[in-house]
Amino acid sequence: MSSHGSPWDSFDVAIIGGGMVGSAIGFGCAERGARVAMLDEGDVALRAARGNFGLVWSQSKGDGMPAYAAWTRQSVALWPALAERASTLAGRDVQYRAVGGLTFCLDDAEFAARQLFVQRMHNQGQEGLQMLDRHQLRELMSGCPLGPEVRGASYQPADGHVDPLTLLRGLQAGMRAAGGVHLPGASVESITPIAGGYRITRADGSEVSARRIVIAAGVMTSPLAKMVGLDVPVRPVRGQNIVTERLAPLLPLPASAIRQTGDGTVQIGVTSEDDGSFETATTTAALSRMAARALRVLPVLAQARMVRSWAALRPMTPDGFPAYAESRTHPGCFVATCHSGVTLAAVHAGRLAEAVLTGTLPEHARDLHPDRFVGMTHVSSH
């Protein structure tokens, strides 16, 4: 898109980033009548959405950050409506199943530690989360061939899982159906204030103007945020995944590191490798560790063939929680970054999209402002 004469070069909202976060916000804005352009590097982008585990997950979100926990619960509550809409738009079922979710414990020490975590989350307002011992777990999943080392699990009935790539397809199809435009193929080089908004110049020389901008560029967020006067520290954290061949049903509920997808494959993951590099290759050592733990949960997987392994980079802030902000120096320019793009897709397409159009971030998003990182010296991951 050039800045000369194209009817498509001026928009209400420009989304920089075509992954799960940008696509959800772009879809939400377009459905509300805004003229949206989603700018995206294309297939070369270091996209977390490619490696997403597909969980719609509340049980582990927000320990020590009540705003994140509440924001997550809001999104989970909105997920059934999003799943129905996204399935229609994608032309196939996104396979959202709110069947509950587990975090397995493989010995007494893991069980005791998880028990303390569950108590802590209860004290912070999470309802429904509970510990199940081995007997209760077997009652919940009758016929599931659990390994003898499984001591129990935490269980959140509200959690579930989805096919993340079909979700991404549905969000992007919805944005286009509502009149939005997807412009892949070039990175953003500059953002310049102009009368009535901003001009975005890309590496291929093209230009797009918009009244509002949302930077939702995952691991590339930090340099783009600086262009609009925001300091948003984001680093890459690699996650590796394994997928098996299709198998007969054996695991009826998803767990934090192992789930059986709607088409029968078993997905095993996910590592959390925080070395600051942008390396996206898989490693035999990490895949072996993941496979070994999965075999302790479901020994029957020893007979299954691995058909694919891959890695992707998650965007991680210093405290591991999302960050949302509108620039004080560039009004109408927003940043949204998180590593929970699937879980938060419903609230990103809803309340956050509304906020972009009205200019007022909702309370929980305001509490997740990147100003909290000023003076922070430690790095943790949640």
Q: What is the pLDDT of residues 232-289, one digit of tens each?
A: 999 988 888 899 999 999 999 999 999 999 999 999 987 676 666 676 777 888 889 9
If one looks up domain 10-56+165-233+320-373 in CATH, what number appears? 3.50.50.60
Segment 350-369 mean pLDDT: 94
Instruction: Report the C-alpha gap between 54 and 98 in whole angstroms.
Output: 12
Six token digits for residue 146? 């659990």
Six token digits for residue 65? 């950050």
pLDDT confidence bin for 70, thresholds 50/70/90: very high
In this predicted model, what pLDDT tens digit does every residue of 90-110 receive, in sequence order?
A: 999 999 999 999 999 999 999
Per the document, the length of the chain is 382
Identify the pLDDT of residue 51. 61
CATH 3.30.9.10 maps onto the chain at 100-158+235-316
Residue for token pair 């609230």: 347
Residue 187: Cβ within 10 Å count: 18
- Stated pTM of the model: 0.92
DSSP string of 40-51, one letter each residue: E--TTS--GGGG
pLDDT confidence bin for 314, thresholds 50/70/90: confident
* Cβ pair 297, 255 in contact under 8 A: yes
CATH 3.50.50.60 maps onto the chain at 10-56+165-233+320-373
Distance of CA 20 to CAs 49, 202, 342, 345, Å? 6, 21, 7, 7
List beta partners, residue 268: 242, 258
* Cβ pair 325, 232 in contact under 8 A: yes
If one looks up domain 100-158+235-316 in CATH, what number appears? 3.30.9.10
In this predicted model, what pLDDT tens digit does every residue of 23-44 receive, in sequence order?
A: 999 999 999 999 999 999 866 5
* Cβ pair 83, 54 in contact under 8 A: no
